[in-house]
Amino acid sequence: MPKIGVIHTTRVSVPLLRDAFAQAAPEIELMDLVHDGLLTEVMRAGGLTPAIVRVLCRHVMSMADLGCDAVLAACSSVSEGFDVARTLVSIPVVKIDEAMADEAVRSAERIAVVATVKTTLDPTARLIQRKGVERNRAVRLDVRLVPGAFDALVGGNGALHDQKVLDEVRDAARTAELVVLAQASMSRLLPVLGPDVRVPVLTSPGLAVKRVLDSVRTSGAA
């Protein structure tokens, strides 16, 4: 049975990704590593630092040493650090936002990126721009930060978080061809978007799970 390691920087993403794996491949063995507080350090520093990248690399190497067949990096705020970690292990390391970025630039050029954490917004925007260059697509981004929404969510006020993000998505959808919800924690909103959002809205969990499962199959571990 393949074993996939999942590295989280917040407990919020654990049930979301466990549900996505249960739906896609219930036979998969999961090993969750939650580095609670790391996202706070990233936010305090305003982004990745060499020390944080070293921590991420150690996490990935530990999962490889413990027999994981692949690693899913579950936090977009630190996803660029896993580009370094990938070079240190022989197993696939999949970033949670990469498949979503590929799908976004395949499907649209006017793309709105909505995030509740500033340290997620910038890396996701850079990734989408890079994917656009790779595909020779004239991507135009509308990047939107939703102040206070993430604090509401981690503080237990999910309703306030949802309303703030929904309002931003509805406004962004008026001019964009597609909306990207930059954090896995925002995927909870898909069932409640409503008919007034008339453009595709992408979230990362399902796409990321499919990609990491494909990487395991391609590597021959499945």
Same domain, 69 and 120: no
pLDDT at position 10: 85
- 154, 122, 125: which is closest to 42 by C-alpha? 122
pLDDT at position 37: 86
CA angle 13, 173, 204 (to 5 degrees): 25
Does residue 82 carry a pLDDT above 90? Answer: yes
- Kindly report, residue by residue over 90-113, the tens digit of the pLDDT: 999 999 999 999 999 999 999 999
- Kindly report, residue by residue over 158-210, the tens digit of the pLDDT: 899 999 999 999 999 999 999 999 988 888 898 888 888 999 999 999 999 99
Same domain, 48 and 24: yes
Same domain, 106 and 194: yes
- 99, 127, 125, 123: which is closest to 113 by C-alpha? 125
Q: What is the pTM of this model?
A: 0.90
Same domain, 92 and 105: no
CATH number at residue 63: 3.40.50.1860
The number of beta carbons lying within 10 Å of the beta carbon of residue 85 is: 25
- Going by pLDDT thresholds of 50, 70 and 90, the confidence category of residue 221 is low
- Going by pLDDT thresholds of 50, 70 and 90, the confidence category of residue 57 is very high
Same domain, 138 and 123: yes
- Going by pLDDT thresholds of 50, 70 and 90, the confidence category of residue 126 is very high
Does residue 128 carry a pLDDT above 90? Answer: yes
Same domain, 26 and 60: yes
| Nearby residues of 199 by Cβ (< 8 Å), 6 or more positions away | 108, 173, 176, 177, 178, 179
Does residue 63 carry a pLDDT above 70? Answer: yes
| Contact in structure between 127 and 101 (CB atoms under 8 Å) | yes
Domain count, the chain: 2
Can you state the angle between helices 50-65 and 38-45, rounded to 10 degrees? 160
Same domain, 77 and 116: no
- Kindly report, residue by residue over 144-159, the tens digit of the pLDDT: 999 999 889 888 998 9
Q: Please tell me the total number of residues recorded for the chain in this structure.
A: 222
| Contact in structure between 153 and 12 (CB atoms under 8 Å) | yes
Does residue 88 carry a pLDDT above 90? Answer: yes
Q: How far apart are CA 183 and CA 71, in angstroms?
A: 18
CATH number at residue 153: 3.40.50.12500
**Full domain range(s) for residue 145:** 98-203
Can you state the angle between helices 118-134 and 98-107, rounded to 10 degrees? 50
